Structure 1
């Protein structure tokens, strides 16, 4: 069910509020109606496509607060998504120990459950290859309020994707796959499915991207392992569907390299009604 109306904003405000409060999608104008109907039809088509596809269910995870990047990467690693080798450091001495244990070059990032877009505040330093650069990065991050930093090995070059799962107010749990990195929102090349979903359904998603050729070795680039990518998508979708306290979990970027897919950043947001706060990585 959905409601579509058009007219002066003052005339439809109260109706919109009533519909939204009741969980009924509300759109205005003929274009909005056409897009909403197309979305409902596509959702119905995908839900009806069961066949022999086996839905990938997720494991239940104990709810808690404090999902910074390090903790969230542990979580996504649990569903088979590779993550870089990394260490957490609260002191310069710990940072030096991490440097000795990891392979350079390194990424040094602010570690905070409240910072969602680290690069926007100067919270990411890349290509750190010596102790002088490490100290400079550590001091710079402390200056912007970092109590801890995440030091991790950098991944080789590749194609950056965004893979995530979230609770849509209209369609409920969904998964998304798109071209990722810092320009993901500007590009908007995204494919969406309902969650949880099957490996077969997830395997079809890459072919619907406008930039799908980037995943097929474009100009000598890496070729994506579609089975591996589908496992990433179904893993996140199953995790969201199985844990009501998760509102959103996202890997951006998931870098496709010649050595496989690796999660360079991960964010988890908990549902506000569960604990009264909105926890962002």
Structure 2
């Protein structure tokens, strides 16, 4: 019996070690390149599809780059949702294309604005973007239950499972009673209409991270997100001493943290959004362009 228990323990440790190795990265970010824009707006959402990197700025300015060199391929252009009330805080490529011949799938952009605008708050704008730097909004996704989030509800895409994930604070960044809510919805189709209204009843999942894992703090500055395999990566902080650069890795199956990547010593710029390119983490920052974290 002792031998069997010991064997089971060893197998468990091996499994945990194998999982942990998935997130062993070099904690010294490597510069990919500078972001170029003639608009003096803060950099915000970013997403990657094949070799294309889409960089967004506050109010909905956009620029397309080609990886791996981060070569600028378009002038800075306006999203269809361009407005002073669009923070364009998070960006994610989806799975559906407006037209089967489009080179890029639809892009999901988080408004993340503090106030209600025309009866809607924290809209997810769905954008059709062409390689020549043109964009149009083809759908708006709105969570009608505005009381569920404080500042602010943001959105990302789980491409593998075709899910739309809403995430964000229930109160504010520095409120000790704040909780971080995750809501998972079926990803709406374009055929669902120009405006899609969601409620809590539509959610497949609705939970607070802190109820599942107390290591996730109540006082936290969220900065974008992306889904990789079964994990939701959540960059946080301003890159400062009181709000350091930390990436929380949430297991979407167990709803617990699988790893905490502390970049406080090596990345002192504000992280804005994150995505993956050829197996590496790519992070858009304010002040240091795009950086990447390599696996050990």
The TM-score with structure 1 as length reference comes to 0.27
Say which one has the larger Rg.
1
The TM-score with structure 2 as length reference comes to 0.26
Q: Which structure exhibits the higher relative contact order, with contacts defined as CA atoms closer than 8 Å and separated by 6 or more residues? A: 1
More strand by share: 2
